[in-house]
Structure 1
Amino acid sequence: MSDGFLGAFSDAHRERLLSFARTVSFPAGTRVFDEDDPAQRFWVLRHGHVDLDCHDPARGALVVETLGEGELLGWSWLFEPYRWHLGATAQDAVTAYEFDADPVRAAIEQDARFGLALTRSVASVAIGRRLRACRIRLLDLYRPTDTGRASAGGEPR
C-alpha cells in the first residue's frame, strides 16, 4: 500500500491513529454510507476503489470522485453536525482500516499536536481535493453540449 493519507503523519502520529484501526472488507457493490446519514466512522483504503456520489432525484447517484489505495474515505465525522455530505459505494472488493469516530475525536481533544496533525491532513488531503474533484465533475456534467453556438465575439466556435 502506498503511504497516501497516512504518509502525511509523523511516525508517532501515524502509530497513534492506527492504534484505533481495525481491518474491514467490503464486497463490490456494497453501499458504505448514504448522503446525510450520521457520520460515525471513517476509513483509509488499503485495496480497492470506492465511488463517492451525490444524489440527483432525476438521475440517481452521480459519481463525483473515485478513491483508491491509501486514500481517506470520510471526513464528515470530524466536523459537526457529523453527517455525510456524499454517499459511497465499493466499486470493487475493498479492504480498509476502519476507525470509530468517537475515540479518535477524544484523542484529538487529549493531544493537541495529534489533533492538529489529523485536522490539517483531513482538511488538505480530503476536503480541498474532494471539493476540487466535485467542481470538475459538476463542470463535466453541466457543460453545454452545443459546440456550434456563437462565442462571446459572435463567431461560431
Structure 2
Amino acid sequence: MKTTTDTTLREVEQAGTNTASSLPGLVAEHPFLQGMTPEHLAILTECAMFAEFKKGEVIFREGTPANRFYLIRSGRVELEAEVPERDHMLIQNIGPGDVLGWSWLFPPYYWRFDARAATPVKALFFYGTWLREYSEQDHNLGYELMKRMAEVVIKRLQSARKYLVELRTEGRV
C-alpha cells in the first residue's frame, strides 16, 4: 500500500531530481544485498523505491498483510510486540544498514511485530509480492533472498530471547 511518503523511481525521474540515478547504487551498496549478482540487483532495483517516515509514524502493524520490506538508510525503527497487560514491549531497535521486515517472504504473509519510526527514517522500500513472483521464476534469486532473510529472522529471535532473559533476570516476568 503506497503512502504519501513513498516515492517510486518513475516519480523521482519525472520530478527531474538526481535521486533516481542513485537508486541502483544505493541498492547495490546496502550490506544486506552485497554479493548479489548484477542481474539480481537489477531485479531488486526494479522492485525498489524510496520511503521516508516521520518520528512516531507507524510503518506497519502486527497482523496486517506483509507485502514489502525495507533497507534502512538512516534513522531508527523500534520493533514492538503487543503484550497483554503491558501494552507494547520493545523487541529490537533497527538502524542504518539493517533490514526491516521478513514476513513478506513467509506464509501467511502477515506482520509478526509492530514497527514505528523512533526518529525520522529514510529507507529503500521493496515490493515483496513482486520479489516472490520473480523468485518463483528465478530460483537462484529466491534462494539468495531466503538465505539472507533467514539471517534476519535468526537475529530477531536472538534479540527477543535476550530481551526475555533480561526481563526474567530483573524479575519483571
Q: TM-score range by the shorter chain?
A: 0.7 to 0.9
Query: SS state of the match for residue 127, structure 1?
Result: helix
Cα separation, partners in 2 of 1:93 and 1:79, compared to 1, 3 Å: same
* 1:59 counterpart residue number: 86
- Name whichever structure is richer in helix by fraction: 2
Equivalences for residues 10-89 of structure 1 within 5 A: 10-89=37-116
User: Identity, % of aligned pairs?
Assistant: 33
How far 1:3 sits from its partner (Å)? Answer: 3.1
* 1:100 counterpart residue number: 127
Structure 1 gap segments, 5+ residues each: 146-157
Q: For 2:34 and 2:118, locate their aligned partners in 1 and report how far apart those are by CA, in whole Å.
A: 24
Higher relative contact order (CA 8 A, sep 6+): 1
Structure 2 gap segments, 5+ residues each: 1-25
Per-residue CA distance 1:46-90 (angstroms, 9 max, x = gap): 111101110112111111110111211000010100011111100
Q: For 1:111 and 1:36, locate their aligned partners in 2 and report how far apart those are by CA, in whole Å.
A: 29
Q: For 1:101 and 1:144, locate their aligned partners in 2 and report how far apart those are by CA, in whole Å.
A: 39
Query: SS state of the match for residue 34, structure 2?
Result: helix
Runs of 4+ in 1 over 4 A off after TM superposition: none
Q: CA RMSD in A?
A: 1.8
> Greater Rg, structure 1 or structure 2?
1
